[in-house]
Chain A
């Protein structure tokens, strides 16, 4: 059977690569150090593939009746999409896929009853481009796009079930010896499109990071509802659903907060959790 070698959840706010120099110096240093620590953890794990789960940002999934999940079984991608290059201040990158792994994950998820479809030529924005800026482009990825912001979105219960199923697929179905990393990306609190666009809810973010440290799925379902996330920042904070997938995939071990910055200039709470061990 395959094995997890790294599981993490991290913010992907566009300003992290796009305009971080506008932050106060102490914030710049803390954010960069946080992402560099994540890169160190990922490098040390020596994964053969990074499975990512992130918000689609209404870029690929249909506006009407979107699936909850979409897998692209392509062999490679170029990112970010042109519209986002100046925003992210990125010249562009190339990253490979693992169509064999993607096909297996898509097939097994569909068999398990998840509303997942396949789409070729997924466009990437900040969802993968910000994490990969730090994590690098040398490891193949499996990008799973999810619908976090076009109601009805998958509820926390479904995300935790998705994470558990991903864990089963990795451990029971994927080929022996395959070293798998998992990253859920998004959040923390932010409100693109609302009156709180220029601020975030740091109190909520610190509470959520503590939830991830505890990693009690029952409590997460009970307390970190979609409604609660939207109260902390509508239209953006529900990206934390991707973190719940990472938490569930770790199998019940505690998470560790890597860093957190409530950044006015990023217009988002920026932070990360890693699960140092897996049950």
Chain B
């Protein structure tokens, strides 16, 4: 695990419930400020969401499993390849922590 999951963190409650509510998740990006206020996120949590800084959210106690889903709430879920906007946002946030893939013969695909 990348962090100590905090089930009481408002961010976790927000992500948990937003994904289940079909009247909300399609408009997550546009309604972000309203939702963050509604769920009582701290200023630090709000800043991390505004920056789509999922690594920081993880460090604050958002469940790791939610982190890729946060990028999809912002960038959409379709065609979620390693080159998708959502995946690139994840990569950008984790920066030099990212471990690159190596094929089984030890070579990277690049």
Contact = CB atoms under 8 A, between A and B. Distances in A.
B46 interface: no
B1 A234 contact: yes
Contacts of B77: 83-84, 86-87
B79 to A, nearest CB: 5
A58 interface: yes
Interface string B67-78: 110001000111
Interface residues of A, number: 41
Contact of A59 (B20, B87, B100): B20
Nearest to B22: A82
Contacts of A150: 5, 7, 63
A191 B98 CA distance: 11
Contacts of A19: 79-81
Contact of A151 (B5, B65, B98): B5
B2 A195 contact: yes
A18 interface: yes
Interface of B: 1-2, 5, 7-8, 12-13, 16, 19-20, 22, 25, 54, 58, 63-68, 72, 76-82, 87, 90-91, 94, 97-104, 109
Given A151-B1, A195-B98, A198-B91, 15 more contacts: A14-B80, A19-B79, A22-B82, A58-B66, A83-B20, A86-B78, A194-B1, A194-B64, A197-B68, A198-B99, A234-B2, A262-B103, A262-B104, A264-B101, A264-B103
